[in-house]
Amino acid sequence: MTTARAPRRTGQPGRPGYDLDSLLAVAVKVFNERGYDGTSMEALAQKLGITKSSIYHHVSGKEELLDLALARALNALFAVTTEAGATSGPYLERLEYLVRRSVEVLVAELPYVTLLLRVRGNTKVERAALARRREFDDFVSMLVVEAAKEGDLRPGIDPALTSRLVFGMVNSLIEWYRPRSGESVRELADAVVELTFDGLRREG
């Protein structure tokens, strides 16, 4: 999946056209810049260089665009929870896998996940997205609980608090990570995993 692409011509020759995917990419960019609440369909049409009715050809309105964008981020994150690395083997390794893959998903779907993480729950679509985020958090907490039961975590770790802190760190990527800023995704994921599981302090 690509997160942004040049508009594809889909309409009559000579008319700028978008397919749903490229329209969504632009909408998400505008939502992230101006805020979802602060973006009107009028402003969106202007940014796209098309009429409002051309947008309504693809979606019923602004909320459907939000719904599609949040679904893309959530589906990518939830897909990880069903991958073999997250569903088999010692729980500590599942957790490590989930953290690493979440970093990769955040980078691959940066604008969509950014939108997701800024959702405040003002609409039904937003509240549904928050509910699914909580489901994801619960999955992470479960992995921490089970890893502790298997004796692989330092004693005294609070699973819910730990999940929040680790994903607080992972999610902070949306604030400062910019593609091609020097680090490869692999190096970034390595750094997050090493910090999370082994900490900064040299052993011994």
Per CB under 8 A, residues contacting a copy of itself are: 35, 37-38, 92, 95, 144, 147, 151-155, 157-158, 161-162, 164-169, 171-173, 175-176, 183, 187-188, 191-192, 194-203
Q: Which DSSP helix (H) or strand (E) runs through 179? A: none
Q: Looking at beta carbons only, is 80 or 174 nearer to a copy of itself?
A: 174
For the CB of residue 145, give the shortest distance to a copy of itself in the complex, in Å: 12
For the CB of residue 59, give the shortest distance to a copy of itself in the complex, in Å: 25
For the CB of residue 16, give the shortest distance to a copy of itself in the complex, in Å: 29
Handedness of CA 20, 80, 160, 176 (dihedral sign): negative
CB 85 within 8 Å of CB 92: no
For the CB of residue 87, give the shortest distance to a copy of itself in the complex, in Å: 20
Q: Looking at beta carbons only, is 55 or 192 nearer to a copy of itself?
A: 192
Q: Looking at beta carbons only, is 52 or 164 nearer to a copy of itself?
A: 164
DSSP string, 44-101: HHHHHTS-HHHHHTT-SSHHHHHHHHHHHHHHHHHHHHTSHHHHSS-HHHHHHHHHHH
Cα distance from N-terminal residue to C-terminal residue, the chain: 44
